[in-house]
Amino acid sequence: MPTYRKRPGAYSYGHGIGLLLLDARAPFVPGDVGNASSYDYPVLYKTVPGLTTNACLGGEAGWEDAVVKAARGLEKEGAKGLSSDCGFMIQFQEVVADAVDIPVALSSLLQLPMMARCLDPEATIGILTADDSILTRDMLDRFGLRVPNPIIIRGPQNEPEFNEAIMLAGPQGSPSMTLDSDKIREEVVGTARAMQAEHPEMAAILIECSIMPPYAKAVQEAVDLPCFNFIDVIDYMHAGTRQRAYHGGY
Amino acid sequence: MPTYSTRRGAYSYGHAVGILLLDAKAPFIPGDVANATSYDFPVIYKTVEGLSTSVCLNGAPEFNEKLAEAAKELAREGVKGISSDCGFMLQFQEAVADAVDIPVCMSSLLQLPFIARSLDPSQPIGVITADSTNLDEGFLTRGGVKLPPNPLIIRGMQDEPEFKTAVLEEKGSLDSDLITAETVACAEKLLAEYPTMGAILLECSMLPPYAKAVQDAVGLPVYDFISAIDYLSAGMRPRAYTGGY
């Protein structure tokens, strides 16, 4: 491919995936969707100004235009696919997919049907979400994620460190401006263990929240089940948009 | 390191090197400093509005403050070091290094003293630059690069048709096969004229994609802008060694 054309609207090149960010200033630790070192390929971030965690989780109306504008900006920069740093961005999946010509997977929840197909239809799937008072089975159905499997949904929204560091983080940060990843690991693992204690038949866990991939390994070690997280969706989309060459022997 | 603090001014995290970009309209292909796939670590870019290629190459002290501000913003985003996508940004090295508390390597030309020390002092060093009419020993000295005892042979790409129209005139497309041929020819000519040449430094941020072709053609050590940025990154992110013994 020797001849390259200038892309109108691009300032730099080579970004694999464009990621829309909530306007929330929590520390994004290694493994977080909002941390560039979590990927084996370059990603490009764009914040949706004003779209706070509360606004997104609460399904506040009127954000479509701002989200679409940011998505188009990332497309102009040459991103090969789009995702986001909040599973609840599922609410913008249709409008963004309509607005751009590249593949869009705004939410970790989009892998639910695929997970379901990998399991028995009667196998219970656990969803670890940021806030289980908001995410409901009804919501999943509404967003086109209807599966036959029993679903249980739990979140650490009331655990002290998760609540303080993540749920209360706004555009200016959280009250403490810190995140203790040891404590959050305990809280997230504790939530997963409680799910398993309540539902010993649980067969797999979908980790919805973009803050939680750093703890996915600890969760898996604790419950000994397949666990899928937000990074898995982004890696999957990247794999499809940039195929590898294979150089092995034979 | 279990406790992390929110960095004021940061929107995302994990970026190793922040790269200040010229306000330029050329395609930045794989291997270019302004192409994110050129690195094994995450980089973040920031364009300096109004600083065009020609303005930068001709010298633009009036941009000192704007560069310093852009560098501070990158530092707030948490980058561990700062570089740029133009070797002529050497002129902003002091202004930027003064403005931030992290290491700054604005130019590929900063490698010259190190390259020289690795060679015999009598061996010429070839420098292939975007524009040899603007790069001379005075420019290097003003930029704080101590001239080595080695002869510096500076050659420019400004009259090569594809390089000129794609990079300097920003026609909107770039034929990398043609620029490969132009860059390799320039290097071969340098070696023919100076057979004892010890190494080649590619100044221009758009030439690293052709560094391998140059090295294959002349069989000499070739350093480029990416080697400077990789070096900067290596110092800030030491690896853990997990091999056997």
- Tens-digit pLDDT profile for residues A150-167: 999 999 999 999 999 999
Encoding tokens for residue B77? 């985003």
The band of A69, judged by pLDDT with boundaries at 50, 70 and 90, is very high
**Residues A35/A210, Cβ–Cβ less than 8 Å:** no
A3: in domain:
no
Residue B1 counted as domain residue: no
Q: Which domain holds residue A201?
A: 109-229
A181 and chain B in contact, CB less than 8 A: yes
Q: How many domains are contained in chain B? A: 2
CA–CA separation, A34 and B11 (whole Å): 8
Is the domain of B44 the same as that of B69?
yes
Amino acid at B134: N
pLDDT band at A1 (very low <50, low <70, confident <90, very high): low
Domain check: are A113 and A195 in the same one?
yes
The CA distance from A239 to A102, in Å, is: 14
- pLDDT category of residue A53 using cuts at 50, 70 and 90: very high
Number of domains in chain A: 2
B221 token code pair: 């050590």
Same domain, A184 and A220: yes
pLDDT at B162 over 90: yes
A62 and A143 in a single domain? The answer is no
A36, A82: one domain = yes
Q: What is the mean pLDDT of chain B?
A: 95
Cα–Cα distance, B161 to B87 (Å, whole number): 21
Cross-chain residue pair B21–A183, CB shorter than 8 Å? no
Give this prediction's pTM. Answer: 0.87
In a shared domain, residues B78 and B118:
no
B194: CATH: 3.40.50.1860
Mean pLDDT of chain A: 95
Residues B120, B80 share a domain:
no
Q: Where are the beta strands (DSSP E) in A78-218?
A: 81-84, 124-128, 151-154, 178-180, 202-207
Q: Is A15 on the interface with B (CB under 8 A)?
A: yes
**Domain assignment present for B2:** no
Residue of A nearest to B3 (CA): A180
Q: Same structural domain for residues B86 and B155?
A: no
pLDDT score for B245? 82
- Indicate whether A225 belongs to any domain: yes
Residue A11 falls inside a structural domain: no
Q: Is A3 an interface residue toward B (CB < 8 Å)?
A: yes
DSSP string of B41-77, one letter each residue: S-EEEEE-TT--HHHHHT--GGGHHHHHHHHHHHHHT
Q: How many A-B residue pairs are in contact by the CB < 8 A criterion?
A: 125
What band does B160 get if pLDDT is binned at 50, 70 and 90?
A: very high
Q: Cα A211 vs. chain centroid, distance in angstroms?
A: 8
Q: Is residue B140 part of a domain?
A: yes
Helix (H, G, I), strand (E, B) or coil at A112: helix
Give the pLDDT confidence score for residue B8 in this predicted structure: 87
Encoded tokens for B25 = 């309209």
Q: How many C-alpha atoms does B121 have within 13 Å on its Cβ side? A: 3
Out of A2, A12, A27, the one facing B5 most closely (by C-beta) is: A27
* Shared domain check, A114 and A103: no
Dihedral sign (CA A104, A109, A113, A115):
positive
Please give the share of chain B, as a percent, with pLDDT higher than 70.
Answer: 100
CATH number at residue A34: 3.40.50.1860
B100 with B113, same domain? Answer: no
Q: Average pLDDT for residues B168-180, to the nearest whole number?
A: 97
If asked whether residues B73 and B133 sit together in one domain, one would say: no
Residue B235 pLDDT level (bands cut at 50, 70, 90):
confident
DSSP letter string over B193-220? Answer: H-TT--EEEE-STT-GGGHHHHHHHH-S
Q: Is residue B6 part of a domain?
A: no
Are B130 and B216 in the same domain?
yes
- B35 and B116 share one domain: no
pLDDT band at B14 (very low <50, low <70, confident <90, very high): very high
B39 and B122 both lie in a single domain: no
d(CA A158, CA A162): 7
User: Which structural domain range is residue B76 located in?
Assistant: 17-107+229-236
Instruction: Look at residue B242 and tell me if it is in a domain.
Output: no
The pLDDT, as a whole number, for residue B91 is: 97
Residue of A1, A19, A28 to mutate for B, most B C-beta atoms under 10 A:
A28
Q: Which residues of A touch B21 (CB under 8 A)?
A: 11-12
In this structure, the answer to whether residues A133 and A177 fall within a common structural domain is: yes
pLDDT band at residue A249 under the 50/70/90 scheme: confident
> How large a percentage of chain A has pLDDT more than 70?
100
Q: pLDDT tens-digit profile of A183-233?
A: 999 999 999 999 999 999 999 999 999 999 999 999 999 999 999 999 999
In this structure, the answer to whether residues A54 and A143 fall within a common structural domain is no
Q: In the prediction, which pLDDT does A245 show?
A: 79
Q: Are A125 and A147 in contact (CB under 8 A)?
A: yes
Does B93 share its domain with B141? Answer: no
**Chain B: nearest CA to A31, how far in angstroms?**
9
Tell whether A245 lies on the interface with B, counting CB pairs under 8 A: no
State the smallest CA–CA distance between residue A49 and chain B in angstroms. Answer: 11
Local confidence band at B234 (pLDDT 50, 70, 90 cut-offs): confident
Tell me whether A218 touches chain B (CB under 8 Å).
Answer: no
- Residue A235 distance to chain B (closest CA, Å): 16
**Same domain, yes or no, for B113 and B219?**
yes
Paired sense of beta strands B125-129 and B199-202, if any? parallel
The two beta strands, A3-5 and B173-175, are antiparallel
> pLDDT tens-digit profile of B102-124?
999 999 999 999 999 999 999 99
In this structure, are B156 and B191 located in the same domain? yes
| pLDDT band for position B211 (cuts 50, 70, 90) | very high
A8, part of any domain: no
**Same domain flag for A174 and A213:** yes
Looking at the structure, tell me whether residues A65 and A161 fall in a common domain: no
Q: Looking at the predicted structure, is the pLDDT value of residue A178 above 80?
A: yes
Q: What is the pLDDT, as a whole number, of residue B1?
A: 59
A23 and A66 together in one domain: yes
- Residue A143: band (very low, low, confident or very high) from pLDDT cuts 50, 70, 90: very high
